[in-house]
Structure formats: structure tokens, C-alpha cells
Amino acid sequence: MSNRHDEDRNIGKLRQRAERQLTGIPAEHSPESHLQLLHELQVHQIELEMQNEALRESRANAEQALERYAELFDFAPIAYFTLGKDGSIHQTNFKGEGLLGIDRIQITGRHFADFVATEYQAGFKHFLENVFAHAESQHCQIMLTFDGKSCWVAIEATADCSRNSCLAAMADISEHKRNQQQLQLAATVYMALEEAIVVADIDNRIVAINPAFSTLTGYSSAEAMGQSTAMLKSDHHDQAFFRDMWNSLNITGQWQGEIWNSRKDGTEYLARLVISTVYDDAGQAIRRVAMFSDITEYRRSEEIIRQQANIDPLTGLPNRRLFLDRLQRAINKSHRGRQKLALLFLDLDHFKDINDTLGHDMGDRLLQETSQRLLSCIRETDTLARPGGDEFTLIMDELHDFNSINRVAQSILQAIMKPFQLQDERCYVSVSIGIALYPDDADTLEELLKKADQAMYAAKKLGRSRFCYFTPAMQEAAENRLRLTNDLRHALIDQQIWVAYQPIVDLATGEIRKAEALIRWQHPTRGLISPAEFIPIAEETGLITELGAWVFHQVAEQVSNWRIHHHTQFQISINKSPAQFYNNGEKLADWFEHLQRLGLPGGCIAVEITEGLLLDASSIVSDKLRAFKDAGMQTSLDDFGTGYSSLAYLKKYHIDFLKIDPIFVSNLSVGSIDMALCEAIIVMAHVLGMKVIAEGVETEEQRELLLQAGCDYGQGYLFSKPVTAEAFEKLF
């Protein structure tokens, strides 16, 4: 508007000057002079009007340009801020409003530094100073924080001519910063990764590697760049391997697996390799990225662990774990193919004798030699295993001829019967074999194992060194045994167990000053169960220790009573199972202390043991026998003459009584071999300072012959069968 006023004012001034000139013209001038002057004035007026029109048009254009600028400023796709020297915001556009998330009205007048993150405020202040100090544009990148959010911006600012304000253009570069950080992280990982990475072009030429590649392969970056990836190949794989690899890469773009590679120095290693393909926008493959690591030691360690977990270290045969796995596989295979298989349980006879007398080293050598002999007897398709101890198992599957089972079993028996040379010792063992068939005898792994085990025990009972097939009768016996075992666990609590006493008579005087305590089990439904039936079960289950302790306390109370009321030197013998000797849980000190509490000497008790126990060279047996002797208890050797009779054992362990087995007494007659044997035993025992007790005396003739031979004591039905304590007292 001021420009228009200026134009009108100029035109008015020109008209006034023209009027002054006209009124001041001398009279002597001619009318033509007046016309000429008027014409000039008109022309001049036209020129002024034209200039005035141009000015108006220019003003209109300027106003339109200003409006366009304001529109461009407001709607520009980039955030603009006009800032004062102090950083105050004079104005901003809509993009700036959106950047800060605040209405423009609320932004104007605030200091821009209020929106700058604290750690970048000092840098922004320095940047603003540079903007007003220099004519050229200034750039910076800072972080803004507002309304609990943050973002990165790039700023370009230029001061105006007055140096009082500047125009700052800002772009949100948060996404760029994140991408940049991710790239930096990827680069860091790429360089620091322990796995080797190699990038190849479509022609398999190496274009990039990481440091781990050089460490693993021995090739530096300079040596590897531009080379074919074939430089890493070894000779382990054939063409079919690589053909399958490339088929997978071409179809799926990926391949992973294990591959043998070669280092720069020629050494080979097993690598875990993963290859991925990179494609361009058109879907064309442009790069192959491979990542691999050396797993040679890992696989070696894994194999060692597998061996330890599945292989018996002594024989090299499958152990119990691998055996069970292979048995299940064989059962599954036989089931699918509707075929039969045989499971053989093999247990060495008398192995414990050799292991205990010659030592565990010799026992190990025997097991190693046994495994080699067994392997020479079986088919290549059979699986021989050593589950543990002196037991072996054999899986024979894909059976077409059952005679092959007999042939293999017979071959094994003959091979094991041959002597074993263990250093300077020649030893003999045999093997008992139990055989169960799938699916004839059982259709599950557990049942098949059970049946083969039962058949093996049956072979042992039949005399050992033989093989025996499973029969239903064995299963019935096993089930009966299981029921008996369960019942025995409750027998003591339910007061089904009691002690019987059988007198031991002085043959010369007929006096009863000794007795043998015999355990009895009165079953609530089965009646009286023989000790021969339940004592082995008690030994196997460990119940023998509890039963033995209970019997001892019963006998101690009884012998105390009879010493008071019948004879001060009365003695009761107690049978001691070998299983009790080997059980460290049984505390003999408790026995001795109990006798002391009752005021009884150790001599009131005699301990009966079997000859087999004396064969044990371990300190466990000798220490316990010595403890009995030190406590004043006497030792009686039961069933003498039927086992491994040895004068050396009798001398070593200071036996007090020898008990002649009933087998020699039952057929006694004048001049018989049994009579000669009994006389020899009696004479030998007396020479060694021992007393003799003859068991199984049933007739007066037997008693008389034994007395004539010098036998000290007799025990048998002639005098009394085992009876209750109450019935025994009537015998006195």
C-alpha cells in the first residue's frame, strides 16, 4: 500500500509543477508554444501512468510470490525452523510441527535447545554460533527428545543478511541411524565371529572373508581374494556329494551339512558348513555366503563319549545300554518281517573263584579272552554284548533254522571249556546259557530278558556248562519266587518267623548241652516253608541280615534261660550265611554288646559256616571269623566232606567243630567206605584239636558205629527233630 501512495504523490507533484509552468509563461509566447508544452505534459503523464501500472503489476507479483513462498514454506516436505541468535524459534512449518509433535503456536517463542537431548545441547550451541559466524551453510546431526520420545535429525542452517536470524532445515534420520548402527553391528559381528565367513560371486570367486577364515584356513585376505572356493576342497568327497550340494543350492538357495576341507598347509578338518544365496531385485543369484567352523575335535570327543556310553571298555563289546537298544531294534525288525529271533543269556561258571583267588587283573584277562572266543563262535549278523560282570548276551535275529541256535550254543560251550592260560596259571571255567525266543516266549523286550534269564538259572541248576531253553514251568517258578519274596518282606513283622532247636547229643553220655538253632517260616496260606526255599531268596534280597540279627537275639535270650535253668555251659549254634559275612551293614559289635548286657560269655554261641566260605581269601571273611574267636565264640564247619575240604583252611581259621554231612552217615555200616571216611574225618579232627558232630543220625546202629569211631556228638532224628523251645525243654 505504501508504494501506491508514493506513485499518486509523484503524479500530483508533476501536475503542480506543470500548472506553475503554465501560469508563469510570458504573454509574449505564442499559442503554439502553449500547445507544445501541453503535449509534452500529456506525454509525460502517459509515461508516469505507464510506470505506475508497472509498479502496481510488480507489487501484485511480489505479493503473489510472497504468498507462494509462505505456502511453500508451510507445506515443504522438510522441517524448517527460523531461529534467532539466541536459539529462539521465530517460526516453523507444518513438517516442523509434526517433527516435534507440538502445535506451531506453542512452538513459537521457545528455545530450540529445549528439544535437544541433554548430551547434545553443548554441541548444538556451538553449531548455532558457527551459523551466525559464517556466511556458508553449516551442518550437524543431533538427537532430539520430546514427549518421552527421541529422534535423530540432520540440520542445515544459513544465517540471513542481517545476521539476526537463520533458516534451519531439518530431516529425521532416525531410520538411517538405526540402519547405520545395524550395519556397524553386523560388521563388528562379521569381523569378530569365530566362524569363518567367505563371500563368493556367482562364479565362485572369493570377494570377501573375515579374520576367522584366515585363522581357520591359513589363507590371508590377499591370498584368498579372487581365488576359487575350490582351493578349500579335500579328497574326502566324490562328485556325487558336490552334485547334490549344487542341486540344493540351485533349487533352494541353501545347503548345510558336514564337509571335509583342506587348509593351506594341506591338513584336513571336518567343517560344519552353511551356504546361503543372495539375489538381486530381478531374482538372479549374485553372491554365495558361506559360514563354517572346525568340528573335528568336537566329533572326536563325541565319538569318545559315544564309545564310553555304549561300549564296554574291557572287551570292546556293546555294553548294557547299546545291547538294549539293539535288542529293541531287532525285535522291531523281526515284528515287521514276521521273523523270529533268539536271545541267549550267558553266565560264566566259577568265575568268582578265579577273580577272588588270582585277583581282578586275571579276572579281566579271562573276560577279554572269553569275549574273543565267543566272537569266534557266532555269525557276523549276531550281536554279542557284555552287560556287566561275568554275563554276556547274544542276539540272533533273522532266524530261518532253529538248529543254528543249537550249533552256536554248543560251539560256545566247547570253546569256553578249553583251558585259559592266565600268565603262569592254567584255569578252567564253563558257561551256562539260557535261551528265549521272540515271539514264541515273549513279545516285549522286558519279557524276553526275563525269560532268557530264567532259562539261564535253570541251566545252572541242571549242573552248569549247558544250555537251556525257556519253558512255561520256569515262568511259573519265577512268579512263585516273586510272590515268596514279597511275602518274606512282611514275615518278620507279621510274626510268621520262629526258631526251632535241634539237640546236639554227647554220644558218650547222652547229655544234651548243645543245640542248633534253625529258622522256620510258618506261611499263613502255604504252611511251613522249607529254609532251602526261602533262605536263598533272603540272601539275594539282603533280608538275610535282618533275619540273622533277629535269630541271634532270639537265641541269646533262649541260651540265657537254659543256662540258668538247665546247664551253665549250654551252647547254641547259629548258621551264618555267606551273604551275612559280605554285608558290611551287619555290625558284630552289636552282637557282642547284647551278650554283655545279658551277662553271657561268647562261648554260649557257636557260629556255623560252610566250607565254601573258607575259600574266600578276602579280609572280610578272615576279619569276621577272627572277631568271633576274639569274642570267645566257637566256629563249626558244616557239611564237611562235600565241598572244598582242605586241611590248610582248617588250620588257618582255627575251626572248633567239624560236622560230618548226613550223606556219609546215612549208609554207615561195618567195613563200608562211608565208615572209613567217617573214621578218617574223626581222627583228623582230633589230631587238629577239633570236636566232631555227626549229622543225620537216625538209627541206633549209626549212633553205635559213630561212638566206636570216637565221634563226639550226634545230631539227628534219632534224638529229636527240630522243635520249639517249649518242646525242647522236655528233652532235658
CB atoms < 10 A from the CB of 403, how many? 9
- Say yes or no to pLDDT of 51 above 90: no
Percent pLDDT > 70 in the chain is: 89
- Say yes or no to pLDDT of 700 above 80: yes
- Say yes or no to pLDDT of 133 above 60: yes
Which tens digit of pLDDT belongs to each residue from 424-458? 888 889 999 999 999 989 989 999 999 999 999 98
Cell of 176: 538411517
What's the confidence (pLDDT) of residue 8? 56
What is the C-alpha separation between 198 and 184, in angstroms, rounded?
18
By the 8 A CB rule, do 728 and 501 touch?
Answer: yes
CA distances from residue 345 to 320, 365, 385, 412 in whole angstroms, order as listed: 12, 21, 10, 12
Which tens digit of pLDDT belongs to each residue from 66-88? 566 566 678 788 899 999 999 99
- What pTM was computed for the model? 0.49
Confidence band, pLDDT 50/70/90 cuts, at residue 571: very high
As to burial, measured by CB atoms within 10 angstroms (0-12 exposed, 13-18 middle, 19+ buried), residue 609 is buried
What's the confidence (pLDDT) of residue 701? 95
Average pLDDT over residues 682-711: 94
- What single string gives the DSSP state of each residue in 511-527? -EEEEEEEEEEEETTTE
Q: Determine the 3-state secondary structure of 688 from DSSP.
A: coil
Cell of 725: 523251645
Percent pLDDT > 90 in the chain is: 55
CATH topology agreement for domains 76-179 and 193-299: yes
CA-wise closest residue to 660 among 635, 695, 697: 695
What's the confidence (pLDDT) of residue 510? 94
Average pLDDT, the chain: 87
The single-letter DSSP state of residue 311 is B
Domain ranges of the chain: 2-73, 76-179, 193-299, 311-470, 484-729
- Give the CATH fold of the 311-470 domain: Alpha-Beta Plaits (3.30.70)
CA distances from residue 371 to 317, 357, 377, 382, 466 in whole angstroms, order as listed: 8, 21, 10, 14, 18
What's the confidence (pLDDT) of residue 56? 72
Lowest mean pLDDT among 59-63, 86-90, 111-115, 377-381: 59-63
Which tens digit of pLDDT belongs to each residue from 652-680? 778 899 999 999 999 899 989 999 999 99
Average pLDDT over residues 125-130: 94
Q: Where is pLDDT greater, at 240 or 182?
A: 240
By the 8 A CB rule, do 262 and 268 touch?
Answer: yes
Confidence band, pLDDT 50/70/90 cuts, at residue 99: confident
Confidence band, pLDDT 50/70/90 cuts, at residue 644: low
- Asked if CATH classification 3.30.450.20 holds for the domain at 76-179, the reply, yes or no, is yes
- Asked if CATH classification 3.40.50.1100 holds for the domain at 484-729, the reply, yes or no, is no
- Say yes or no to pLDDT of 262 above 80: yes
Q: Where is pLDDT greater, at 337 or 181?
A: 337
What is the C-alpha separation between 587 and 545, in angstroms, rounded?
10
For the chain, how big is the Rg over CA atoms in Å? 57
CATH of domain 193-299: 3.30.450.20
